[in-house]
Amino acid sequence: MTDLCAEDLATIYAQPSPRVIAKARPAIDTHAKKFIEMSPFCVLATSGADGSVDASPRGGGVGFVHVAGPNQLLMPDRSGNNRIDSFRNVVEGSGFVHLLFFVPGIDETLRVGGRGSLSADPDLLASMVEFGKSPRAVLNVAVSEVYFHCGKALMRSNLWSSEKVPRSVMPSIVEVVHEQTGLGEPQSQEIVEELYKTQL
C-alpha cells in the first residue's frame, strides 16, 4: 500500500465550492446558538505539545455548554477518569480546541473551533450546578470558527435509527478493562450502570 502525498489529493478530490468555504463563520450566529442550546452531547478535540491529538466525549443536560457570547463558550467539566488529557493539552499544548456538537434526531452537526483556557472561579462553578454537583473546572473557549457539517455521515451510519445494538453483546467496561489489565474486580453491566448514577 502506497501512502498518498499532498499532490495526490488534488487528483482525487475536487475543489470545495465557494459556499462550503463561506459557511465557516467567525462567530456563533443565531442558528449555531440554537443548535448548541439543543445539544446534550459533543466531542472535544485538543492537541498536545508533542503533536498528539485527544478526542473526548462530553455530555450533560440539553444545552450543557453555555453560549456566553458570539465568541465565547463555557463548558463545565464533570467527573470522569481523572486522566485530564484534554485539559493538559489546553494548558500545556497548543491551546486550540474543536467541539463537534450533536443533537439527537438531527443529522447535521456543528463544529466550533477556537482557543481554550480553564477556570475554577467559585462563582462560575456555582452557576453551573448539574446533577446536584458543581463542575470541577470550566473550559472557556474563545471562538474563532463555526460551521455546520452536512448530514451525510450520520445518514450513512443511520445513527439515530430506532434499531439499537443490545448492550449485552459487549461485556461491561469494567470487565473489559479487567481482562485487558488484570486490575480491579470485574463487575456486571448492571452494577456499572448503578455506579454511573451516583457519579454523574
Q: What is the mean pLDDT of residues 115-134?
A: 94
Distance CA 26, CA 115 (A): 13
| pLDDT at residue 198 greater than cutoff 80 | no
Q: Find which of 1-5, 79-83, 186-190 is predicted with most confidence, using mean pLDDT.
A: 1-5
| pLDDT at residue 193 greater than cutoff 90 | no
Look up residue 120 and give its three cell numbers: 475554577
| pLDDT at residue 18 greater than cutoff 80 | yes
What's the full length of the chain, in residues? 200
Q: What is the mean pLDDT of residues 124-137?
A: 93
CA-to-CA dists, residue 88 to 44, 111, 115, angstroms: 13, 22, 14
* DSSP codes, 32-49: HHHHHHH-SEEEEEEE-T
pLDDT at residue number 154:
96
pLDDT at residue number 116:
97
Within 10 angstroms of residue 44's Cβ, the number of other Cβ atoms is 23
Query: Average pLDDT over the chain, rounded to whole?
Result: 93
| pLDDT at residue 184 greater than cutoff 90 | no
pLDDT at residue number 55:
96
pLDDT at residue number 61:
94
The pTM is what?
0.91
